[in-house]
Amino acid sequence: MAARAGRCCRAGLSCGALLSPALLSPAVLSRAPATPRWGRAAFSSAPAVSGREGPQAREGSVRRRGRTLQFVRSAAPPRTERMAVDQDWSSVYPTAAAFKPASVPLPIRMGYPVKGGVPPPKEGNLELIKIPNFLHLTPPAIKKHCAALKDFCTEWPSALDSDEKCEQHFPIEIETVDYVSSGTSIRNPKARVVTLRVKLSSLNLDDHAKKKLIKLVGERYCQETDVLTITTDRCPLRRQNYDYSMHLLTVLYHESWKTEKWESEKSEEDMEEYVWENSHSQKNALDTLLRIKASENVSNVTKEELLASEVVKNYRNSVIALKNEGETESNISQYKESVKKLLNIQA
Amino acid sequence: MAARRVAGGCWQRALCLGRRCRLPGGRESYRSSSSTSALGKTVDNSQVTQEEIVLPRRKTWDKLAVLQALASTVNRDPTAAHYMFQDDPFLMPRNAANARLYSLSKESGRNAAKYIIKNFPQYFDKTFAEPNVPCLMPESLTPQTEGVSEGALRERIHLRLVKESVDMFDQLLQAGTPVSLETTNSLLDLLCFYGGGEPTPQKEQEEKEGLEEPEVNASEQKAPKRQFQRGSQSSGPKWRENNHAERIFKVMPERNAHSYCTMIRGMVKHEAYSKAYDMYIDLLNERHKADVHTFNALIRAVPYLKERFPERWELAKEFLTHMAQQKVQPTLLTFNSVLKSLRRCGGVGRAVSLSVLKEMEALDIEPSLASYDHLLSMFYKGADPQSSDIISEVLNEVEKRSFTAQDPDDANFFNTAMQVCCDLKDIKLAYQLNRALEKGDNWKFLDVDRLNGYWSKFFSLLCMMEQIEVVLKWYKEMSSSLFYPSPKNILDLLQALDAANQLEVIPSVWEDVKQLGFSRIPDVLEEFLSLMSRDQHPSEIQLAFAKCAEDIKAVHEPAGPGQVPLEWTGSALGHVVVLFSRAGRTQDAWNMMEHFQKINRIPTDKVMDEFLNCAKQTNCPDEAIKMVKLAASLGLLSSQRLKSRMEKEFELSETQKKALESIKWDGDSSDSDSDSSDSDSE
């Protein structure tokens, strides 16, 4: 933005440079009547300049040349010299503007240095004009802006004094983006996108519904943070997208509570995670244990007792860890220990 | 999160992160739906915490409120020029004339752009802006309706095509088609507004500006024209006998009050006052009623209808009684017109103006700045300024209120009031006025020209009445950001410095003067030089003074092609020599001394003494001898005294002594003819 304004300013400068020789040269003035349209434009500006002379305006080109020469002048000293050390900087740079070397009292250098030298100074330095600057957004300026804008803010509800409470009372988070630019259009197609975030734990779901919901949303659910993210951008307006994302959430919720007929056909391979209960592993382990007990002539040992025993629980946990978390060194060694204890093997 | 930026340069992301309450309505509906709600769990929790969450109501504000709030954080930058100018040392205006030229150039560029858009609308057919900005798009200025009909006439009137409308009206008349009263009236409106002539584009511009922004831009634009037209003393075409408006008015089959009112207003606007009065009599004879604007116009015309002051007031009163009879409610502008007319009634005006204000109060109409302006000029212009303390009453009143523009004359108030303060030499009143100006949007009443006038007067008053520290503080604050000092302001400042014995500030003032481009004004130069050379100062101040003197010397010497050097005056030359001498720059001083001979002037004794002192201090007896020689050749009486001083004070070598002796001999011999040259030069 700043860069564009800067270019504009340069254009103005060069235009002035082009104009002044044109004003000086009598050839242009004499040629003017030949081109009627521009001639009129040139003429209409003439009274503005010579109007102050009043009756002497007629005295012709000699006089005019004398006047134009008065405009040839040197530049004034930069106003940084007159600036007080404690001046109010936000008044010097109130808005975004291109870098103005005569208004910035800093010894800035920028650009490619000459060999063995330093980068060029700020005066007439294009590199400094090109880059966007934030001279108008100094921390004191932002503080002032915030203080001025405070009147437009509503008071924060006192009951919501922590993030946890906010999450608890307002579990749904909507994110939209407004775009500000220095273009001809105030519209931006990207402003219609709406992102909805909600923690699954804040929804009223049972185990089945939760698993189904996760299956339904696929990659929109983040396992680590337990957050479901719905981004909608298919409608042309933000409001429509917002409504659509709410609709999606509602539909997902109700859909996940339904249990279809075919869900009973869910087999061990379809499970989201390994469940030890009623698995092959449990059956085999119990079988083995019962036969061991039988061979040791220890009767009246029920399955329930076995399941409640420490070694079996230990074994169960290590198997679950191995299946759900993968084969890590600690898992493997834990599994080894539990198997040894289960079978009562001394090594 | 806000730090996440979209690639692609100029887009800035403003992130809006909103947490929204899931369910509309209050807590009741929230709870009742808890069994089916997706957020039942949350509801349970909130019942547990038992805390009341009060959601604040959404605030609404008007479109500009945020921008205005942000703008209120910015103050005036005392080192910068007005924001309309380029903030660049080369392009910033240096003085009032420059500022005016630059602002006019900018405006003229704008006009040129408008001209192009107006005349070549075919090239501006795309609407790039989203949403579209209609005022930036070319207006359609060519009438769409073809043929001769009343509709076509109405369209031409709407497009303000004066000549075409009149032609169309004539054609309709010849064809025998009756034109409705309404359309004829709007045609009359158009003709009376432009005084029966075709508006030139420039004039149209002026009129439009005048209509839309009475005080902000208008005079800025009008300023050059005003000077252009000063000879004719009019702002528009005069009302001509039997112009189109009168002709059409005469051929109208029926006329209503509106037709008469329009004619009266047009005639007053274009300075046909007695005709307007006759028209008003006609209106009364036809038993119509005039509207309030017509009465305002008539009251404004009063000073031109009657010669003597009491008669004028009688006539104005007559109009007012007519208003009462016709049950027309007077407005603020009515009373302002009365006051404006009373300005031209001398003592009568002073006598009755206060009762006019009372009447306003009785009708519950608050006076605008224009009313006060008229009041002040009635009481203080031409009259004995000490006569009343009405100004302080007015200022007390003004300070209490904030004003909006209601009358075109509102803009004059601050300048008039400051002029009165200056005439009364009352700094307290001036401060009070300034406070009033700074209040609210009152600053809007001053455009660039008036701003300069106002501050220039204020500054002169400050220089006259205030402590020097305060003056310098104001000077630093205002100079070149609020106004550009005039040469008179600089002279005032110098006098203030002199009075406060703060001459060491002069070099910095001189720098400003150079920037302002006043370094070629003889009065200013003379004042600077005489102040600097009057007393002896510490050496560092003298050095700074000598630098100024060097600048002044440069002005008097041919610098570049086309730069005509200023003519030396004897006193200026003497001052420069003194300044150089006191700074110990003997060689420069001698160079200046030589100029005396070139311009046929004589150095004063003081100048020569100073030079001799300097030569003594810097041990340059040669220059001293040359000076004595010069004095002798000019045949001055003091040459003898100078010579004896030299012999006493200087340690001279043999050759130098000889040279000195020879001068004496020269001086003696040339005594007789130097007398004659003396009388020549004097």
In a mutagenesis test of the A interface, which of B23, B27, B42 is the best target, namely the one with the most A β-carbons within 10 Å?
B42
Contact B168, B153 (CB under 8 A): yes
**Number of Cβ within a 10 Å radius of residue B100:** 19
* Beta-carbon separation of B73 and A148 below 8 A: yes
Residue B34: pLDDT over 90:
no
User: How large is the average pLDDT for residues A334-345?
Assistant: 87
Rounded CA gap, A76 and A9, in Å?
18
For B269, the token pair is 């606007």
Lowest mean pLDDT among A151-165, B363-377, B624-638: B624-638
Cβ contacts of B549 within 8 Å, gap of 6 or more: B529, B532, B575, B576, B579, B580
Lowest mean pLDDT among A191-195, B70-74, B531-535, B671-675: B671-675
A with B: how many residue pairs have Cβ under 8 Å apart? 176
Residue B671: pLDDT over 50:
no
For residue B11, the one-letter residue type is W
pLDDT at A257: 94
**Confidence band of B664 (pLDDT split at 50, 70, 90):** low
Give the largest Cα separation in chain A, rounded: 137
- B669 compared with B527, residue with greater pLDDT: B527
* Beta-carbon separation of B130 and A186 below 8 A: yes
* Beta-carbon separation of A152 and B66 below 8 A: yes
**Confidence band of A276 (pLDDT split at 50, 70, 90):** confident
pLDDT at A4: 39
Contacts of B56 in chain A (CB under 8 A): 154-155, 157
Contact B55, A155 (CB under 8 A): no
What 3-state class would DSSP assign to B123?
helix
Residue A2: pLDDT over 90:
no
Backbone region of residue B228 per phi and psi (left: phi > 0; alpha: psi in -120 to 50; beta: other values): alpha
pLDDT at B109: 95
- A159 compared with A56, residue with greater pLDDT: A159
Contacts of A97 in chain B (CB under 8 A): 87
**Confidence band of A73 (pLDDT split at 50, 70, 90):** low
Cβ contacts of B468 within 8 Å, gap of 6 or more: B496, B497, B499, B500, B502
Residue A146: pLDDT over 90:
yes
Residue A37: pLDDT over 60:
no
**Residue A191 distance to chain B (closest CA, Å):** 10
Lowest mean pLDDT among A291-300, B47-56, B332-341: B47-56
Rounded CA gap, B543 and B585, in Å?
9
Rounded CA gap, A210 and A256, in Å?
7
List B residues 106-125 in contact with A (Cβ-Cβ < 8 A): 108, 112, 115
**In angstroms, how far is CA B440 from the centroid of its own chain?**
19
Beta strands in A84-200 (DSSP E): 173-180, 194-199
Contacts for A55-63: CB closer than 8 Å, 24+ residues apart: A61/A26, A61/A29
pLDDT of B213-263, one tens digit each? 333 333 344 444 444 433 334 456 778 877 888 888 988 888 889 999 999
Identify the CA nearest to B633 among candidates B668, B657, B588: B668
pTM above 0.90, yes or no: no
* Beta-carbon separation of B87 and A185 below 8 A: no
Residue B460: pLDDT over 90:
yes
For B539, the token pair is 């050496």
Distances from the Cα of B358 to the Cα of B309, B353, B367, B387, B532, angstroms: 21, 9, 10, 21, 56
Residue B44: pLDDT over 70:
no
pLDDT at B29: 27
Contact B492, B459 (CB under 8 A): yes
Rounded CA gap, B643 and A238, in Å?
100
For B44, the token pair is 């349970």
Cα-Cα-Cα-Cα torsion B455, B468, B544, B95, nearest 10 degrees, comes to: 0
Lowest mean pLDDT among B204-218, B326-340, B564-578: B204-218
- B545 compared with B679, residue with greater pLDDT: B545
Residue B662: pLDDT over 70:
yes
Contact B374, B409 (CB under 8 A): yes
What 3-state class would DSSP assign to B533?
helix
Contact A306, A292 (CB under 8 A): no
Rounded CA gap, B453 and B488, in Å?
12
User: How large is the average pLDDT for residues B368-393?
Assistant: 80
**Confidence band of A12 (pLDDT split at 50, 70, 90):** very low
pLDDT at B13: 42
**Confidence band of A17 (pLDDT split at 50, 70, 90):** very low
* Beta-carbon separation of B42 and A103 below 8 A: no
**Sign of torsion over alpha carbons B427, B428, B431, B437:** negative
User: How large is the average pLDDT for residues A256-280?
Assistant: 83
**Number of Cβ within a 10 Å radius of residue B318:** 12
**Residue A240 distance to chain B (closest CA, Å):** 16
B69 interfacial to chain A (CB closer than 8 Å): yes
Question: Considering CB atoms only, which of B20, B59, B88 is closest to A102?
Answer: B88
Contacts of A48 in chain B (CB under 8 A): 104-105, 108, 224
Lowest mean pLDDT among A101-105, A184-188, B34-38: B34-38
Rounded CA gap, B486 and B475, in Å?
12
pLDDT of B176-186, one tens digit each? 888 889 999 99
For B463, the token pair is 């220089």
Cβ contacts of B169 within 8 Å, gap of 6 or more: B153, B179, B184, B187, B248
- Per cent of chain B over pLDDT 70 is 82
Cβ contacts of B263 within 8 Å, gap of 6 or more: B188, B192, B245, B246, B249, B276, B279
pLDDT at B388: 67
User: Angle B555-B558-B563 (CA atoms, 0-180°, nearest 5)?
Assistant: 85
**Confidence band of A57 (pLDDT split at 50, 70, 90):** very low
pLDDT at B612: 84
Question: Considering CB atoms only, which of A51, A173, A178 is closest to B228?
Answer: A51
pLDDT at A5: 36
Lowest mean pLDDT among B197-206, B396-405, B418-427, B606-615: B197-206
B208 interfacial to chain A (CB closer than 8 Å): no
- B27 compared with B339, residue with greater pLDDT: B339
Residue A291: pLDDT over 60:
yes
* Beta-carbon separation of B39 and A202 below 8 A: yes
Contact A202, A171 (CB under 8 A): yes
Rounded CA gap, B528 and A134, in Å?
44
Backbone region of residue A152 per phi and psi (left: phi > 0; alpha: psi in -120 to 50; beta: other values): alpha
Contacts of A184 in chain B (CB under 8 A): 128-130
pLDDT at A40: 38
Identify the CA nearest to B279 among candidates B293, B259, B296: B259
- B506 compared with B621, residue with greater pLDDT: B506
Rounded CA gap, B282 and B262, in Å?
13
**Residue A222 distance to chain B (closest CA, Å):** 18
Residue A10: pLDDT over 50:
no
pLDDT at A258: 92
Contacts of B228 in chain A (CB under 8 A): 47, 51
Residue B264: pLDDT over 70:
yes
Residue B200: pLDDT over 70:
no
Q: How do beta strands A227-232 and A173-180 pair?
A: unpaired
Residue A60: pLDDT over 60:
no
What does B277-305 look like in DSSP terms, one character per residue? Answer: HHHHHHHHHTT----HHHHHHHHHHHHHH
Whole-number mean pLDDT of chain B?
79
Rounded CA gap, B625 and B660, in Å?
6
For B18, the enclosing helix (H) or strand (E) is strand B12-19
Lowest mean pLDDT among A115-119, B412-416, B597-601: B597-601
pLDDT at B648: 81
**Confidence band of B414 (pLDDT split at 50, 70, 90):** very high
Contacts of A47 in chain B (CB under 8 A): 224, 228
* Beta-carbon separation of B10 and A152 below 8 A: no
Is the bond preceding residue A47 a cis peptide, omega within 30 degrees?
Answer: no
Backbone region of residue B423 per phi and psi (left: phi > 0; alpha: psi in -120 to 50; beta: other values): alpha
pLDDT of B495-523, one tens digit each? 999 998 888 889 999 988 988 888 888 88
User: How large is the average pLDDT for residues B443-454?
Assistant: 86
* Beta-carbon separation of A178 and B16 below 8 A: yes
What 3-state class would DSSP assign to B42?
helix
**Number of Cβ within a 10 Å radius of residue A175:** 17
Lowest mean pLDDT among B389-393, B583-587, B673-677: B673-677
Question: Considering CB atoms only, which of A149, A168, A182 is closest to B66?
Answer: A149
- A340 compared with B35, residue with greater pLDDT: A340
Distances from the Cα of B264 to the Cα of A98, B548, B609, B635, angstroms: 55, 63, 77, 79
* Beta-carbon separation of A155 and B56 below 8 A: yes
Lowest mean pLDDT among A282-286, B126-130, B589-593: B126-130
**Residue A330 distance to chain B (closest CA, Å):** 38
**Residue A186 distance to chain B (closest CA, Å):** 6
pLDDT at A25: 37
**Confidence band of B45 (pLDDT split at 50, 70, 90):** very low
pLDDT at A26: 38
Question: Considering CB atoms only, which of A83, A94, A187 is closest to B79?
Answer: A83
For residue B469, the one-letter residue type is E
* Beta-carbon separation of B54 and A157 below 8 A: yes
Contact A249, A196 (CB under 8 A): yes
Identify the DSSP state of B272: -
Residue B548: pLDDT over 60:
yes
Distances from the Cα of A64 to the Cα of A31, A60, B26, B562, angstroms: 16, 7, 79, 12
Identify the CA nearest to A276 among candidates A323, A335, A341, A215: A323
What does B333-400 look like in DSSP terms, one character per residue? Answer: HHHHHHHHHHGGGHHHHHHHHHHHHHHHHHTT----HHHHHHHHHHHHSSS-GGG--HHHHHHHHHHH
Contact B246, B258 (CB under 8 A): no
Contacts of A174 in chain B (CB under 8 A): 17-20
List B residues 616-655 in contact with A (Cβ-Cβ < 8 A): none
Question: Considering CB atoms only, which of B12, B41, B228 is closest to A202?
Answer: B41
Q: Where are the alpha helices (DSSP H) in B500-620?
A: 506-516, 522-534, 539-555, 570-582, 586-598, 605-617
pLDDT at B198: 57
User: How large is the average pLDDT for residues B656-675?
Assistant: 57
* Beta-carbon separation of A48 and B104 below 8 A: yes
pLDDT at B588: 86
pLDDT at B562: 65
Q: What is the ipTM of this complex?
A: 0.70
